[in-house]
Amino acid sequence: MAGNTEHNDHGNTPAAWTTVIIVVVGFGIGAVAVILLNWPLFWIGGVGVVVLGAIVGKVMQMMGLGQPPPAAQAAPLAPTVPDGPG
């Protein structure tokens, strides 16, 4: 892809970083809960925080803090109406 002039910062956005940090914390809580055999902590503190991270990331993306869509998907094309008989 040497000829590709479009730069893609895949995942290098505030929404992506926030999501990853929250999910990693959730996995850490879940791991500690499994070691302690504390299943309520695993489900509420671990799995719950991971799901919360996904929701926070999606909300941040919808607020404009995520990667913008590609130019081809940014604005749909308006339907063309013929001018009349050709």
- Boundaries of domain holding 42: 14-64
Confirm whether 60 is domain-assigned. yes
70 falls in which pLDDT band (50, 70, 90)? low
Confirm whether 35 is domain-assigned. yes
Confirm whether 82 is domain-assigned. no
Q: Show the CA angle centred on residue 56, arms to residues 53 and 59, nearest 5°.
A: 150
DSSP-derived letter for residue 6 is -
In contact, 14 and 60? CB cutoff 8 Å? yes
Q: Provide the pLDDT for residue 51.
A: 97
Confirm whether 54 is domain-assigned. yes
Confirm whether 23 is domain-assigned. yes
Confirm whether 24 is domain-assigned. yes
Confirm whether 80 is domain-assigned. no
Task: Based on DSSP, count helices (H) and strands (E) in the chain, helices before strands.
Answer: 4, 0
| pLDDT tens digits, 13-63 | 999 999 999 999 999 999 999 999 999 999 999 999 999 999 999 999 999
Q: How many structural domains are present in the chain?
A: 1
| pLDDT tens digits, 12-24 | 899 999 999 999 9
Q: Provide the pLDDT for residue 68.
A: 77
Confirm whether 30 is domain-assigned. yes
Which 3 state secondary structure label does DSSP give 59? helix
- pTM of full prediction above 0.75: no
